[in-house]
A and B are shown apart, each in its own frame.
Chain A
Amino acid sequence: MADASIANGAPSRPRYGSMSRDRAWALRWSYFFLVLFAIFFLMPPVYMLITSLKTSAEISAATNPWWISNPTLQNYIDLLSQNQFLVFFRNSAIVSICVVILTMMISVIAAFALARMKFWGSATLATGVFLTYLIPETLLFIPLFKMFAWVNETFGVQLMNHWWTMIILYPTLTVPFATWIMIGYFASIPKELDEAALIDGATWMQTLTKIFIPVALPGIIAATIFTFTVAWAQFLYPLAFTTSTSELVLPVGIITTLIKGDVFNWGQIMTGALLGAAPPLIIYAFLMDYYIAGLTAGATKG
């Protein structure tokens, strides 16, 4: 019996060899395309970095755009010594953090209710939440103007031209999607887990805070990253609803203050864009480790 199996095994060995050759080629191809994509997507930020280290004179001169003859940090010094850039940065930071907190508070609880408490109309509501996400903000900002005007007339509260209005506005984009992600995560948690908690004497709120949130932590982090990115990069609403320099957030601030008429201050625009891209990058880099650790920890369903 043992002899037979060895004899059978021998001729099949070259076949394993050819399989590993296939695999090696597959790997080579994947590396080829991955490197290609990496170069393609890294080109703009590298170009931004290079441009941000040049003087205005060098940028406008017809020299090699990929080479810096006289590297300078002047753009960074100029930008960071301008008070308004720091104001934009602060506005963006406060808005983004508040939006993340608000979004997560609403969407985690909403998702838990929609995923687990079967109440009348819960399925329709869940679909409704998703449909809300499908409406683009370009369709919404004109009705929002009307609403703001109505609020101003009725309650005397001026919502136009305030950075904090963004804290109310952005969740209209982030809550539906974050809720949708969380519904998916909560739905993947076995039903028996909340039944066990129910028998153990946990209330719905305790089941959410002591079981669901810790188990769905990877999902919550994913939703947090998404929400922060959307809030940080949101351009249309602040462009439409804020005008005073002190009320601008970073993306709009850079565009409106550094482009004067048809004069583009490219060095400072690139510097501002790079500095503006830094916080999400740092958050990704920091949370990604945690995200992966969270994934493996939560993967085992008891």
Chain B
Amino acid sequence: MAQVTLRKVVKKYDEVLAVRGIDLDIADKEFIVLVGPSGCGKSTTLRMIAGLEEISGGDIAIGGDVVNDVPPKDRDIAMVFQNYALYPHMNVYENMSFGLKLKKTPKDVIDQRVKQAAQILDITELLDRKPKQLSGGQRQRVAMGRAIVRDPKVFLFDEPLSNLDAKLRVQMRTEIKKVHQKVRTTTVYVTHDQVEAMTLADRVVVMNGGLIEQVGSPNDLYHSPATKFVAGFIGSPAMNFITCQLEQTAGALRVRLNDTLSFPVPADRTARYTAHVGKPSLMLGLRPEHITETKPHTESNQHDFDMVIDVVEPMGMETLVYFTVNGREVCGRVNPNAGAEAARSMKLRADLSNMHLIDDSTGKVL
């Protein structure tokens, strides 16, 4: 039983509010990822859970006990740092056993636990090496081993993959997921990389400006973002935002982008959007994969339009096309064989069944 609960947690540095009162319930065995741009308070939140930062207000509970004033070592947590923070003068075995040794754990228990953790992480043959003899990925594994050995209530990861190169990062990401499936310890993981967040998390917590924007499963966040920030942050390339107006014509709604371009709103959304007709600060949110080349048959809510392409970026399995609407760059993802060419007009298709309507004045998705 190791759920983590945050209640109105606040962190103030002098007069600057880094975390502005967040509430979060993390269930036992859950893998939670805190994600957001730098300075959003995600690392501070993690460090407060670890006990490395004092909290300025609110309560943090681990396994039901409030730990506000409990020192880190008594919180029964383990942390993996971005720069690994391995003790450079100790070999891998000593690094992993250091915490247990300080707790005066019997030698045979230490030995058994270290070997078991080494096996899980596949670093058994590295136990005699010093950190400087290891590659980045191996060091990261040792850092995780040091955490696993202690069999804590909660694992805390602070951007553990940021120091690795792109290929290794993907590999270690899978590794971390595998380890979590094996040891099933409650995990709080901080990253600025939304792909990491999406792939690892049971639930993602998107933070911005010291506040939680939205908590939800990766799919929830992707398909039903609550705010413009979440809509723009999750997904790569990012969601397109185009200024628009909502018009009512004969019982049906239309989003009008400009004089020449407008699309009918899907019928099932009419009721939801009617109240916003005529609002001045509306935006249409549409992900790049919902702007494609035309196909032989049209499904409902798909609408074709012509557009002059500014830039074409072939990615191999798809091609990104950029064009301008209302002075904003809009990205679409088309088939590489669709014949997209810069400065040429192209027939594109927008899938409005996945549209989002955003009130730009409040930042809320309607």
Using CB atoms and an 8 Å cutoff, list the residues of chain A in contact with chain B: 190, 192-193, 195-202, 206, 210-211, 214-215, 297-302
Contacts and interface: CB of A to CB of B under 8 A. Distances in A.
B88 interface: yes
Given A199-B72, A200-B73, A301-B83, A215 B88 contact: yes
Interface of B: 50-52, 71-73, 77-79, 81-89, 98-99, 102-103, 130-132, 139, 146, 150
A302 B102 contact: no
B87 A199 contact: no
Nearest to A192: B85
A201 B131 contact: no
B88 A199 contact: no
8 contacts: A193-B87, A198-B71, A198-B73, A202-B73, A210-B98, A211-B87, A297-B88, A300-B88
A196 B102 contact: no
Contacts of B98: 197, 200, 202, 210
A195 B86 CA distance: 11
Nearest to B87: A211
Closest 6 CB pairs of A and B: A300-B132, A200-B99, A192-B85, A302-B86, A201-B73, A196-B85
**Dominant SS among interface residues on chain A:** helix
A195 B88 CA distance: 14
A5 B39 CA distance: 45
A198 B52 contact: yes
Nearest to B50: A199
Contacts of A196: 79, 81, 85, 87, 146
Nearest to B150: A200
B77 A302 contact: no
B88 A302 contact: yes
Contacts of B86: 302
B68 to A, nearest CB: 17
Contacts of B77: 199
Contact of B89 (A190, A198, A201, A214): A214
Contacts of A198: 52, 71-73
B213 to A, nearest CB: 28
Nearest to B139: A302
A268 B132 CA distance: 52
Given A196-B79, A201-B99, 17 more contacts: A195-B50, A195-B72, A196-B81, A196-B146, A198-B52, A198-B73, A199-B52, A199-B72, A200-B146, A201-B73, A201-B102, A202-B102, A215-B89, A297-B88, A301-B83, A302-B83, A302-B84
Contact of A297 (B79, B89, B139): B89
A201 B81 contact: no
Q: Which of B82, B83, B130 has the most A CB atoms < 10 Å from its CB?
A: B83
A221 to B, nearest CB: 14
A16 B32 CA distance: 54
